[in-house]
Chains A and B, each alone.
Chain A
Amino acid sequence: MEPQVLPAALAAHAPALLVMIPLIMSAPAAMIKNGRVAWVIAVLSVGAALAMALEVFLATRADGAIWSYAMGGWEPPFGIEYRIDALNAALLLLLGTTGFLALLFAGPSVADEISRGKRSLFYSAFLICFAGLSGVASTGDAFNLFVFLEISSIATYAIIAMGWRNDRQALTASFNYLVMGTIGATFFVIGVGFIYMTTGTLNMADQAQAIAAMNGNRAVEVGFAFILVGIGLKAALFPLHQWLPNAYAYAPNFVTTFLATTATKVAFYVIIRYSYDVFSVHTGFVSNAMIWVITPLAIAGMLVASTQALFQNNVRRLFAYSSVAQVGYMMLGLGMATSLGLTAGMIHLINHAMMKGALFMALGAFALSYGIRRIDDFKGLGQVMPVTSAAFTVGALSLVGVPFTVGFISKFYLIQAALDAGWWWAVAAILISSVIAVFYVYRILVAIWVTPPGESDKAAPKRVPLAIAVPLCVLVLANLVFGVYAEPIVSIARAAADAAVYGGVTP
Chain B
Amino acid sequence: MVEIVAERFTYAVILVLMMVGLYAVIATGNLVKRMVGLSIFQTSVFLLYIATAKVFGGGPAIFDYDDLAYGTIPEDAIYANPLPHVLILTAIVVGVATLAMGLALVVRIREIYGTIEDDELSEIDHDDELKKGV
Q: If the complex has contacts A161-B105, A374-B134, A376-B133, are A179 and B34 also in contact, measured as CB distance less than 8 A?
A: yes
B2-10, B59-67, B70-78, B90-98 - interface stretch? B90-98
Query: What separation, in Å, do the CA atoms of A11 and B22 have in the docked complex?
Result: 46
- Counting CB contacts under 8 A, is B25 at the interface? yes
Flag if A186 contacts B125 (CB, 8 Å).
no
Flag if A154 contacts B101 (CB, 8 Å).
yes
Q: Among A183, A314, A374, find the residue whose CB has the most chain B CB atoms closer than 10 A.
A: A183
Flag if B45 contacts A161 (CB, 8 Å).
no
Flag if A157 contacts B41 (CB, 8 Å).
no
Question: Cβ of A174: which chain B residues have Cβ within 8 Å of it?
Answer: 105
- Counting CB contacts under 8 A, is A416 at the interface? no
CB distance from A457 to the nearest CB of B (A): 14
Question: Cβ of A143: which chain B residues have Cβ within 8 Å of it?
Answer: 87, 90
Q: Mark B42-56, 1 if CB is under 8 A from A, else 0.
A: 100100110010000
Flag if B102 contacts A175 (CB, 8 Å).
yes
Query: What separation, in Å, do the CA atoms of A189 and B52 have in the docked complex?
Result: 14
- Counting CB contacts under 8 A, is A190 at the interface? yes
Question: Cβ of B52: which chain A residues have Cβ within 8 Å of it?
Answer: 193, 196-197
- Counting CB contacts under 8 A, is B69 at the interface? no
Out of A172, A179, A193, A196, name the residue touching B45 (CB < 8 Å). A193
CB distance from A375 to the nearest CB of B (A): 10
Flag if A168 contacts B42 (CB, 8 Å).
no
Question: Cβ of B97: which chain A residues have Cβ within 8 Å of it?
Answer: 150, 154
- Counting CB contacts under 8 A, is A164 at the interface? yes
Flag if A164 contacts B112 (CB, 8 Å).
yes
Query: What separation, in Å, do the CA atoms of A143 and B91 have in the docked complex?
Result: 9
Query: What separation, in Å, do the CA atoms of A175 and B83 have in the docked complex?
Result: 32
Question: Cβ of A193: which chain B residues have Cβ within 8 Å of it?
Answer: 45, 48-49, 52
Q: Mark B112-134, 1 if CB is under 8 A from A, else 0.
A: 11000000011001001000111
Nearest B residue to A151 by beta-carbon distance?
Answer: B94
Flag if B45 contacts A171 (CB, 8 Å).
no
- Counting CB contacts under 8 A, is B38 at the interface? yes
Query: What separation, in Å, do the CA atoms of A150 and B45 have in the docked complex?
Result: 15
Out of A147, A313, A376, name the residue touching B90 (CB < 8 Å). A147
Flag if B101 contacts A183 (CB, 8 Å).
no
CB distance from B130 to the nearest CB of A (A): 11
Per DSSP, chain B at the interface is helix
Nearest B residue to A174 by beta-carbon distance?
Answer: B105
CB distance from B109 to the nearest CB of A (A): 5
State which size class the interface on A falls in.
20 to 34
Flag if A150 contacts B94 (CB, 8 Å).
yes
Query: What separation, in Å, do the CA atoms of A186 and B87 have in the docked complex?
Result: 13
* Total contacts A-B at CB 8 Å: 81
Out of B38, B108, B122, name the residue touching A171 (CB < 8 Å). B108
Interface residue ranges of B15-35 to A (CB < 8 Å): 22, 25, 31, 34
Nearest A residue to B125 by beta-carbon distance?
Answer: A169
- Counting CB contacts under 8 A, is A182 at the interface? yes
Query: What separation, in Å, do the CA atoms of A189 and B43 have in the docked complex?
Result: 12
- Counting CB contacts under 8 A, is B106 at the interface? yes
CB distance from B96 to the nearest CB of A (A): 11
Flag if B45 contacts A186 (CB, 8 Å).
yes
Nearest B residue to A194 by beta-carbon distance?
Answer: B48
Flag if A178 contacts B105 (CB, 8 Å).
yes
Question: Cβ of A158: which chain B residues have Cβ within 8 Å of it?
Answer: 101
Question: Cβ of B91: which chain A residues have Cβ within 8 Å of it?
Answer: 146, 189
Out of A169, A183, A376, name the residue touching B128 (CB < 8 Å). A169
Question: Cβ of A172: which chain B residues have Cβ within 8 Å of it?
Answer: 109, 113, 121-122, 125
Flag if B90 contacts A175 (CB, 8 Å).
no
Query: What separation, in Å, do the CA atoms of A12 and B128 have in the docked complex?
Result: 54
Query: What separation, in Å, do the CA atoms of A314 and B133 have in the docked complex?
Result: 10
Out of A168, A183, A197, name the residue touching B38 (CB < 8 Å). A183
CB distance from B120 to the nearest CB of A (A): 11
Flag if A183 contacts B22 (CB, 8 Å).
yes
CB distance from B80 to the nearest CB of A (A): 14
Flag if B41 contacts A183 (CB, 8 Å).
yes
Question: Cβ of A164: which chain B residues have Cβ within 8 Å of it?
Answer: 108, 112
Nearest B residue to A375 by beta-carbon distance?
Answer: B134
Query: What separation, in Å, do the CA atoms of A158 and B94 have in the docked complex?
Result: 15
Nearest A residue to B81 by beta-carbon distance?
Answer: A200
Nearest A residue to B87 by beta-carbon distance?
Answer: A143
Flag if A186 contacts B41 (CB, 8 Å).
yes
Interface residue ranges of A106-124 to B (CB < 8 Å): none
Nearest B residue to A149 by beta-carbon distance?
Answer: B94
Query: What separation, in Å, do the CA atoms of A202 and B87 have in the docked complex?
Result: 10
Out of A157, A171, A179, name the residue touching B25 (CB < 8 Å). A179
CB distance from A343 to the nearest CB of B (A): 35
Flag if B22 contacts A157 (CB, 8 Å).
no
Question: Cβ of B108: which chain A residues have Cβ within 8 Å of it?
Answer: 161, 164, 171
Additional pairs, 8, CB under 8 Å, beyond known A150-B97, A169-B125, A175-B109: A154-B98, A168-B112, A175-B31, A178-B105, A183-B41, A186-B41, A193-B49, A374-B132
9 tightest Cβ-Cβ pairs between the two chains A and B: A150-B94, A175-B105, A313-B134, A171-B109, A168-B112, A197-B52, A178-B102, A182-B98, A154-B101
A-B contact pairs, 28 of them (CB 8 A): A143-B87, A143-B90, A150-B97, A154-B94, A157-B101, A161-B108, A168-B112, A168-B128, A169-B128, A171-B112, A172-B125, A174-B105, A175-B31, A175-B105, A178-B98, A178-B101, A178-B105, A179-B102, A182-B102, A183-B41, A186-B41, A186-B42, A189-B45, A196-B52, A202-B87, A313-B133, A313-B134, A374-B134
